[in-house]
Amino acid sequence: MIASRGDDDRALIGAIARGDRKAFDALYRRYHGPLSAFVLKTTRRADLVDDVVNEAMLVIWRSAARFEGRSTVRTWIFGVGYRCGLNAMRAQRKADADAPLEDEVLGTAGAVPAKADEVIARETMARALATLSPEQRAVIELTYYFGYSVAEVADIVDCPAGTVKTRMLAARRRLHQVLGESGGASDG
Amino acid sequence: MAKDDANGKIGPSAQDTQDAEHAQDAQDALLMELPWYLNGTADKQTVAAIERQLAISPAFRDALEAEKALSAGIAQSPSPQFTPLSSPSDALLGPSRDRARPNPLAAFASWLQGDLKRWLIPVAVATACLVVVVVPQVDQGGFETLTTPGADTGALRVLVGDGTTPETVSALAQSHGLAILSGPSDGGVYTFTPQDGTDLEAAAQALAADPQVEFVEQTVK
């Protein structure tokens, strides 16, 4: 989870709007990790992450002056990253289901060595998530991994709260179904 | 979801059926809120409603347990480390203007230390040659004015007033020890040359003071 640093973030955005490159560097360093993780979890394309994050940061640099503060800076940044991620996936013209389930993508590379059953559980979960659409995955990950509220998720994915709940329900049903079939982390 | 049936009635009435449908709708609505109840961002009203439902419905408690397992699986999935750019602004926005446009003082100092030494000798030699060529030409009267001491250009260009006849002009020239060399030009200018022994500068000053003369200058030799 990202620590709440709202005022600090707003100051950085204000400075970026005035062309302050050091502020841009600071914001980049602050959000590079979380944004990369979010883009990966949404797109499941490790090969796209760097490009998408860089594109998102460029959009932030260009449009900082237009940030009106109606949402928090972090939800705005995640929203930019979300749209850039979806655009990149469309540009690649590849169905999400075709994306390879690499160890890197699943987050097992470089992780602390885990017990066999933990590895299996992670892979099972990763395969279940791969069956969702990027839009559904975004809602799931933003809620369960990043801990956002319904309103924040709605801001990020730019749709009404009701749509977020509907996507979430559909995603949960799908995950329960897939995990139930594979004996994974669900009893529903 | 199963409905708790504890009232002991045999067969549900229409009212019971309607109540059951309402209860089911309410529970379904709360089921949609479970993810945000679990991540701690649900509002107080929703939290209270969910906890009331948990207290009365075993099916709802089962749904919550299933949701907990799902959320834990997702929340615990590790994220690989990504390497950030070492200098993001330079990499993404291009080189800084500050670096593209160096400090003028620093640039001048650098020029003094480097380029000046390289160019100093050729520039000094070229300057010396120019002095050698130009100075003698000035001494020979390449361009001098009426007030230049020792001027000796050999002729005067004289503009006389309108209506002055050539005879009058000739008499004017002779009165100052000069003779008409040429003129008048289209602009009415005569060229006078000094006769033997005439001081051209003195003659020029005298002509300039003459009311018939509008303008006098020495020609370039």
Whether B72 and chain A come into contact, CB under 8 Å, resolves to yes
Q: What is the mean pLDDT of chain B?
A: 76
**Is this model's pTM higher than 0.80 or not?**
no
CB A140 within 8 A of CB A179: no
Give residues 165 to 204 of B whose Cβ lies within 8 Å of A.
Answer: none
State yes or no: ipTM above 0.95: no
Taking the C-alpha atoms of residue A160 and residue B205, their distance in angstroms, rounded to an integer, is 100
Q: Which amino acid is at B133?
A: V
Whether A32 and chain B come into contact, CB under 8 Å, resolves to yes
Taking the C-alpha atoms of residue B97 and residue B37, their distance in angstroms, rounded to an integer, is 50
Residue A172: pLDDT above 50?
yes
- Which residue from A49, A72, A52, A80 is spatially nearest to A148, judged by alpha carbons? A72
- Residue B217's beta-bridge partner residues? B157
Please write down the HEC assignment for all residues of A105-119: HHCCCCCCCCCHHHH
Measure Cα distances from A45 to A48, A112, B82 in Å. Answer: 5, 22, 13
A58: nearest CB among B66, B73, B92: B92
In tens, the pLDDT along A71-94 reads 999 999 999 999 999 999 888 865
Q: What is the mean pLDDT of chain A?
A: 85
Q: What is the pLDDT of residue B184?
A: 81
- Name the residue with higher pLDDT: A177 or B160: A177
Check CB contact under 8 Å for A125 and B41.
Answer: no
B10: confidence class by pLDDT, cuts 50, 70, 90: low
Find chain A residues with C-beta within 8 A of B89's C-beta.
Answer: 21-22, 24-25, 28
B76 to chain A, closest Cα gap in Å: 8
B60 to chain A, closest Cα gap in Å: 11
DSSP string, B79-121: ----PPPSSHHHHHH-S-HHHHS--HHHHHHHHHHTHHHHHHH
